[in-house]
Structure 1
């Protein structure tokens, strides 16, 4: 059985955009779509505040209607897409991470009803992007038509095979070109413990960084011969390079290391891109 795509909804405009995007992605992948709404029926974790009324028929009906509307958005133009809806009990961040078990992708809007309007990335989307066991798509803009290209951010260091595999597969599924972006500020260490020079020739180092990127993607052209690949190496901060690239692409794919060194569970570049990208972003952990 094909693993599903999961999307979390709360009735907000960003979550309905996420449902629409998730429906399109599920259709591309030939996957079923599972739409999930997390409902806190009883605030067990906040015992000092007045408890809300018991979950009643009205609240249940409102949640079901919200899920119905999300399904309509997901199936628009895709009537044969298999969609299921579900209300799960608990906090949205934790329940969406739980729902991601066994999914091939989990999709969220950049913020929901509970977030401050001025925040670019809500707490739910940040938590899911950090903790989910599968790749996470964060959607912040309505779909405005295909540009036919996906951007993937690469460091050129070893160990990014899961990121490359995801980006190439996604490009192949969409029949899209793939643009590999490698931005550098200082020369990339070749070996652990390499000492970096205090003064260097930017042009010469740029050539070395281009070679590093070429080595990182060596063999992937042969594995995905139908994907048109371009390489872009630039001397600037990786977050700025990827945010700039997001203005004219369909999707930005970024990697994030799990571990204590990461900012809020994500690397600084991933964190910045999730906040400021103008295109949907998929985070692949490795």
Structure 2
């Protein structure tokens, strides 16, 4: 088992759901699970907290968080290999450093310290926007299964890693894969004098979607694929099908220099509006 799945734990309910999700995926993929907790001492720049020693309250609390997370994982999937590790620093930075070594990073949608009513936490948004490889933001109950994985299609080669990940998840779960390709007509397409034929445009988009899927369908013939081409904004289309999906997979074309710009507007929109867990796969 050379694959390692890394999950962030902080003692929150969202992180507990992420640990359960990661344990299930570890069992499905015959991987190893590594639970990571990060202590950020920057808010406690006093001698009592910044100089850890015997009986250090912050360290003791961190060890308790890891022990509880391990117990959750072992109870969820007794047969998996579980290890845990404590780090100090920024949670987002530590999880980013693990991205290149892990098969996937799993995090809760909002951890401790999140604003009431907030959909996403700053750590989940940052890691999803900067880490290379799959980052799963757990937003749904791991015990609820619909038997469907959703992939948001585009016609760029950079979306290939996301497509491969979606097919792999469909195989591991024995699920149907719904491939959603959303398109919007040109702003002037509804003008009577316009030469645009919306039916022709839709047919062309269907042809593009089929072409994007062709190689993977040949590679994974056992996966049942639903080609779902919609005249809608991509965020609206993916959010609408997310309620009956176990996971929504999106690529990210964002190339911004800082912050959530790295995600791209569609990916960020899906993270905020999807009702299921979301996997962001950056090339």
Question: Which residue pairs with 1:192 in the alignment?
Answer: none
Where do residues 1-286 of structure 1 align in structure 2 (5 Å cutoff)?
A: 1-41=1-41, 43=42, 51=46, 53-54=48-49, 55-56=52-53, 57=55, 58-186=57-185, 200-260=196-256, 264-286=261-283
**CA apart distance, 1:50:** 5.4
1:200-234 CA-to-partner distances (Å, cap 9, x unmatched) read 22222111111110111112222101100110001
Question: Which residue pairs with 1:193 in the alignment?
Answer: none
Contact 2:254–2:261 (CA<8 Å) still a contact in 1?
no
**CA apart distance, 1:3:** 2.3
SS at match of 1:264: helix
Contact 1:20–1:75 (CA<8 Å) still a contact in 2?
no
Contact 1:139–1:281 (CA<8 Å) still a contact in 2?
yes
Distance in 1 separating the partners of 2:182 and 2:250? 13
SS at match of 1:217: helix
Distance in 2 separating the partners of 1:238 and 1:146? 24
**CA apart distance, 1:52:** 6.1
CA-based RMSD of the aligned residues comes to 2.0
1:173-199 CA-to-partner distances (Å, cap 9, x unmatched) read 111110100001136xxxxxxxxx975
Contact 2:150–2:180 (CA<8 Å) still a contact in 1?
yes
Contact 2:23–2:76 (CA<8 Å) still a contact in 1?
no
SS at match of 2:123: helix
What count of residue pairs does the alignment treat as equivalent? 272
Contiguous gaps of at least 5 residues in structure 1: 188-196
Distance in 1 separating the partners of 2:81 and 2:270? 32
**CA apart distance, 1:69:** 1.3
Name which of structure 1's ranges 96-105 and 241-250 shifts more when overlaid on structure 2: 96-105
Contact 1:111–1:121 (CA<8 Å) still a contact in 2?
yes
Contact 2:185–2:198 (CA<8 Å) still a contact in 1?
no
Contact 2:182–2:231 (CA<8 Å) still a contact in 1?
yes
**CA apart distance, 1:68:** 1.4
Name which of structure 1's ranges 232-241 and 71-80 shifts more when overlaid on structure 2: 71-80
Contact 1:21–1:74 (CA<8 Å) still a contact in 2?
no
SS at match of 1:227: coil
**CA apart distance, 1:266:** 0.7
1:28-82 CA-to-partner distances (Å, cap 9, x unmatched) read 11000000000023x2xx7xx8536233523322211211111122222411111
SS at match of 2:240: helix
Which of the two has greater helix per residue?
Answer: 2
**CA apart distance, 1:274:** 0.5
Distance in 1 separating the partners of 2:133 and 2:158? 17
Distance in 1 separating the partners of 2:36 and 2:180? 34
